[in-house]
Amino acid sequence: MTLLINRAQETAGKSVALEDLILTTALPTTGGSKMLEGYMSLFDATVVGKLEAAGYEIAGKANIGEFGFDLLGETSYFGACENEQGELEAASSLLLADGEVEAVVGLDVNGTQRRAAALADQVCVKPTYGTVSRFGTIAVACSGEAVCVTANTAAEAQDVLSAIVGHDDKDGTSLPEERCALAKTAAEMPKKKIALAKSFVEAADDLTKAAIAEFASFAEKAGFAVEEIDDAILLAARPAWNVLMSAELCNNVSRFDGVKYGYRATQYETIDELYTNSRTEAFGELLKATILYGSEMLSEENYDKMYDKSLRVRRVVVEELARIFADYDAVLLPACSKSAYTLAELEADKFLCFKDNACTAVASISGVPAVVVGGVQLVGPAFSDAALLALAAQFESAEEVR
């Protein structure tokens, strides 16, 4: 079982692992794909420099699913990871559980890290879109993906997030410094109200429901009113995100063709055979399926009906969240509907990441921050990142008392 695809020399101080969509000059960057096995970048991602400037050492490159959009890393060319109970578990979770690193920094494309943190009872923060530079990350679904942090505690996640937040001239979607800084500052949650997304909870298994109930109970003791809301609009985030993510992924991975870098097939005669054989041999099944779906969504026949429609639904979801956040500090919902998955389940349904991403798609499509703690997910308004983490830390303290 491969936790680190490539390992750095022994680290002595504070160390983090980088998931393997983040480019590094010192170690290869594979994207979890045969296509990029052994690929050496000529530059570091901006977050690498920021982490090192803050005193973190890079322990290695954590194993991820191919291009980081699957359920829990099951599509990695380097093999999926499982825990001692035989359940699928992300490499990042196992590294943190082993105490190998203080945190794992990754690229949240389709909520994989949030699901992983929920299943492993760890903390994950997907920050407000545009507050952490994506320069030097392998682009997959640019309009929604965000550099994220997973750690054992909210305080550790906050420390690492604070180190990487900030404007970057090299990232055209990077916010001005003063707005980025908002994500580091824990403001009060003035409304003292949390919205419970009931449809998402009802679709979850009993253990997940129990985790939601436990957090709701904590929140009420901490002075918050927890109220069920009509979340019908939020349910539309998943199909819309599936369309947008696939369309963007299709375009982004078209650069991998076996010519200038990456895997090249050994058998070909024409240039078309070089492209086709290289991509067919190097790409996994889920990636191929997603490319073909994304391509179809961008076709003349489907562009208006599917892609354009999804862009409009994105606005509807964003406006619905704005309405909710006018009355509530955060939305409480699961990070995934189950409390465990096995490889056998994923082999029986290879496309589960398009179905069990409903809970993560809400923040992915809208760019708002999300924090996972205690097996549940809190989604807040833009720049509430630190406030959500502060609430997560309060929850951890209350758990310790119990």
Partner 1 sequence: MNMDILVRLEKLNQLRLTEEQRAQQLAFFAEREAEMAQLDAIDTADVERMVHVLPLENVLREDRADEPFSREDLQAGAPQADDGYWQVPRTVD
List residues near partner 1 by CB under 8 A.
38-40, 42, 129-130, 143-144, 169, 172-173, 175, 233, 235-236, 238-240, 242-243, 250, 254, 257-264, 268-277, 279-280, 283, 285, 288-289, 291-293, 295-296, 306, 308-316, 318, 350-351, 354-355, 366-367
3-state secondary structure of 378: strand
Least gap, CB of 367 to partner 1 (angstroms): 3
Least gap, CB of 104 to partner 1 (angstroms): 25
263 and 282 in contact (C-beta within 8 Å)?
Answer: yes
Select 39 or 224, whichever has its Cβ closest to partner 1. Answer: 39
Select 294 or 375, whichever has its Cβ closest to partner 1. Answer: 294
Q: Do you know the residue count of the chain? A: 402
Phi, psi dihedral angles at 147 (to 5 degrees): -65, 130
Phi, psi dihedral angles at 148 (to 5 degrees): -130, 165
Phi, psi dihedral angles at 154 (to 5 degrees): -65, -35
Least gap, CB of 230 to partner 1 (angstroms): 14
Least gap, CB of 191 to partner 1 (angstroms): 22
Q: How far apart are CA 83 and CA 375, in angstroms?
A: 17
3-state secondary structure of 144: coil
Select 303 or 327, whichever has its Cβ closest to partner 1. Answer: 303
Select 14 or 114, whichever has its Cβ closest to partner 1. Answer: 114
Select 298 or 340, whichever has its Cβ closest to partner 1. Answer: 298
Least gap, CB of 132 to partner 1 (angstroms): 13
Select 221 or 312, whichever has its Cβ closest to partner 1. Answer: 312
Select 98 or 300, whichever has its Cβ closest to partner 1. Answer: 300
Number of helices followed by number of strands (H, E) in the chain: 15, 11
CA torsion 192-193-194-195 (nearest 10°) is: -160
Q: How many Cβ atoms sit within 10 Å of the Cβ of residue 206? A: 8
Least gap, CB of 165 to partner 1 (angstroms): 15
| Complete edge-to-edge strand list for the sheet that includes strand 225-229 | 4-7, 57-62, 15-19, 103-108, 146-151, 123-126, 370-373, 376-379, 330-334, 193-197, 225-229
Least gap, CB of 86 to partner 1 (angstroms): 25
